């Protein structure tokens, strides 16, 4: 099952992620893909705010990992400089995956052999300049349940 949203500007992407955050549990992984400037970091910022992170969530492009305190610990990774999941292991990053919510930007290179299930977030261009198509899917029951809970609530608010 894939859930697809169209956002018309960065605020809508931020709000979409913020709205998903309350449904996330310990050991949730979100693997986020999309081209440069697709909105991966905007999505991460919204998720962080929804998780109650008070600090400013920034792109971890150079540091590879930023850790924030929220309702749950929020681990924000950037895999842009990694070649494969072995690099992810090599940095000891798999250690962080059970303790909170992990969001990984540029995740496509580490999907093969990723240790555990995840919510896949794909951000693609929309029809207009500021429009984005954001697709959510899950690879296991744990993450599927989270998306379904979120969707049930979204539906009841229509």
Ligand X SMILES: Nc1ncnc2c1ncn2[C@@H]1O[C@H](COP(=O)(O)OP(=O)(O)O)[C@@H](O)[C@H]1O
x-or-dash string of contact with ligand X, 114-153, rule CB under 6 A:
----------------xxx---------------------
28 scored as a contact of ligand X (CB under 6 A): no
Q: Are strands 119-125 and 28-33 parallel, antiparallel or unpaired?
A: parallel
Q: Residue of minimal CB distance from ligand X?
A: 39
151 binds, among Mg ion, ligand X, none (CB under 5 to 8 A by kind): none
Query: Contact between 41 and ligand X (CB under 6 A)?
Result: yes
Report the alpha-carbon distance of residue 124 to residue 39 in Å, rounded. 9
Q: What share of residues in the chain are helix, strand, coil (percent, to 5)?
A: 35, 25, 40
When asked if residue 40 is in the footprint of Mg ion (CB under 5 A), the reply is yes
State in angstroms the smallest separation of the CB of 96 from ligand X: 20
Question: What DSSP character marks residue 117?
Answer: -
Q: Taking Cα atoms as reference points, which of 4, 5, 33 lies closest to residue 106? A: 33
Q: What is the DSSP letter of 57?
A: P
The footprint of ligand X (CB under 6 A) covers 7, 9-10, 12-13, 34, 36-42, 59, 105, 130-132
């Amino acid at each position: 099952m894939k859930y697809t949203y169209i956002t018309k500007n960065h605020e809508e992407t931020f709000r979409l992620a913020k709205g998903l955050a309350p449904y996330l549990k310990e050991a949730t992984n979100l693997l986020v893909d999309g081209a440069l400037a697709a909105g991966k970091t905007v999505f991460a910022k919204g998720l962080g705010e929804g998780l109650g992170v008070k600090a400013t969530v920034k792109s971890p492009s150079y540091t590879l990992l930023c850790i924030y305190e929220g309702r749950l610990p929020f681990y924000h990774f950037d895999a842009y400089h990694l070649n494969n999941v072995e690099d992810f292991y090599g940095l000891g990053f798999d250690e962080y995956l059970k303790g909170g919510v992990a969001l990984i930007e540029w995740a496509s290179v580490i999907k093969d052999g990723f240790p555990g299930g995840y919510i896949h977030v794909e951000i693609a261009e929309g029809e207009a300049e500021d429009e984005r198509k954001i697709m959510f899917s899950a690879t296991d029951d744990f993450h599927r349940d989270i998306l379904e809970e979120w969707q049930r609530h979204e539906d009841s608010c229509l």
